[in-house]
Amino acid sequence: MKTSEELRHRQKSSVFGALLLFNLVLVLIQLWLFVSVLENMLAGHLQMAIPAAIASVVILGINVWMLRGIDHMEKSG
């Protein structure tokens, strides 16, 4: 039978994998935002730059929050 420490380590690994996958999705969203804003700026349309910058700042905040959570998870266990 597995000990509770082994089960906790396995759960942390699963959570870390899920956060890594979510982070990959966020990076792809930021890349999509960058490319679409760059295409619009080259076409002379600057209206999308500010909302995309705000979305990027929100994504940065989510990434920092996840990093702090991972750091807290490492320290607690």
- If you write DSSP's letter for every residue of 11-49 in order, what string do you get? HHHHHHHHHHHHHHHHHHHHHHHHHHHHHHHHTT--TTH
What mean pLDDT is predicted for residues 27-31?
95
Residues 6+ apart with CB under 8 A from 33: 52, 55, 56
Residue 53: predicted pLDDT: 93
Give the pLDDT confidence of 39-77 residue by residue, as tens digits: 999 999 999 999 999 999 999 999 999 999 888 888 886
Q: Is 70 exceeded by the pLDDT of residue 11?
A: yes
Q: What are phi and psi of 53, to 5 degrees?
A: -65, -40
- Indicate the range of 4-18, 29-43, 55-69 predicted with least confidence: 4-18
